[in-house]
Amino acid sequence: MFDQINLKELGNMCRRKRKELGFTMEELEDEQISVSTISNIERGVPIVSHQKIEYYCVHKLKLNISDYNQLSQQERKLKLEKEEELWFIERLIEQGNPDEGLTELKKFNLSGFRELEAMIFYLKGRAYYYKNQWEQARKNFLRTIEFVDKYPQIGKSNIASICYNDLGRINFFYYGNLKNALQYTELGISCFNPDGERYHILYTLKICQVLYLEKLNRIQDAYQTVKELWKCLDQIDYLDVVLNTYEMRAKLLFKMKRFDDAIYTAKKGLEISTLNKSPERTLELITTLGSIYLKLNQLNNAEKCFLEGLNLKNQIAKKYLFITTFTQIGILYMKKKQFEKAQSYLKVAVEIGQKSPDVVRYAQSLTELGVCHLAQHDISKASDIFLQALSVAKNHSLYYKASQILTKLTKLWEHRDEEKFNMYMAELFRFNLLLDEEQ
């Protein structure tokens, strides 16, 4: 009889039955069966004698194991019902109703299916993520990952990959830690099960990986991942990932000085984002296109792009997305020698940046404001602002950005103050060494 019994499944039945009867393990202990033996039975540990298992099931729990097949069918049916219940709660949360989802989770009864706890923690994490309660979300995502490691059969759900993705986003967007964001994202990619559920998360993880690599100035690494996404673009159902791929491909091609390809990609992405009325992606793409025109000195085209982007301000809640647009239009007006106008736009970029989670955009806006003051021969003000930008770069280990700012500081003090020039030159050398090590 025991040859046909799945001990883990039987253990789950025993645990649930004991809890239904309202007993603790200690209350069922007697001279024939100890607490440790009961624990081993309920965990499905294959070291307990058949006699002890039968004694515990029949005499203590009134479970007739001779009807195991029928009990097993009932077990699977109940588990499916519980999984279906969680599926509906997941839909509730993902459709933007986190409070209602949390209420339903409080009422949910696991019925002894301990592996479903992973799903409970995952759904709580997602609900708190939508509620912008980052620390609560983070704790629940980490608990989810612990449970997935404990119950490998949950791996096909790919909820661990989603948790790693959200942990990465929390680290970047809300704690400003790019390195941790990239690390979590790469863990999400490595644990992804290609034969499992929620396949969309692979593409989401990869586009986030591209974003973090690009912000860390690892352009070639970022472009390799974009090429992977570009090849399977027609397989991606998630519009936001598709548009992000166009945006990041255009940005990377621009940084690689492949301007014609970058313009083509940005324009194609803009056609899709406009058609689908996606203002956030439209802003990013139109700003990227304007930046390319600016680099090519096509100032009128660049200005049209930036002003068109700024017209979206009433449609976009994430104001930090405008930092780059304000910064770039500031650079444009500096090129036109309209320094007061440039300074006004750059000040807005910095003001938004001060409240922003995107430290890279903030550091860049500060740097360009410093450049604007320098162009107006306000050396003291330029130096102060460069130092603010340098502090942001240092605090977030943005070595390449720190190197760029230190280069400006050394040029600023060259022939003006030999002591400061030498000090910043030495610091520039140190950061370049750190940059070499990082790469």
**Residue 358 DSSP code:** -
Query: Are the C-beta atoms of residues 268 and 274 closer than 8 Å to each other?
Result: no
Tell me phi and psi for residue 151, to 5 degrees: -120, 85
Nearest to 225 by CA among 238, 208, 239: 208
Per-residue pLDDT, 229: 96
Q: Identify the band that residue 219 occupies on the pLDDT scale cut at 50, 70 and 90.
A: very high
- For residue range 165-216, list pLDDT tens digits in order: 999 999 988 887 889 999 999 999 999 999 999 999 999 999 999 999 998 8
**More confident: 295 or 71:** 295
pTM, entire model: 0.81
C-beta of residue 297 within 8 angstroms of C-beta of residue 331: no
From residue 236, give the alpha-carbon distance in Å to each of 33, 155, 158, 284: 56, 22, 17, 20
Write out pLDDT tens, residues 6-55: 888 788 888 888 888 889 999 999 989 999 999 998 888 888 888 898 88
CB 138 within 8 A of CB 126: no
Query: Which residues does 180 contact at the CB level (< 8 Å), separation at least 6?
Result: 168, 171
Amino acid 208: pLDDT:
96
Interatomic CA distance for residues 203 and 185, integer angstroms: 11
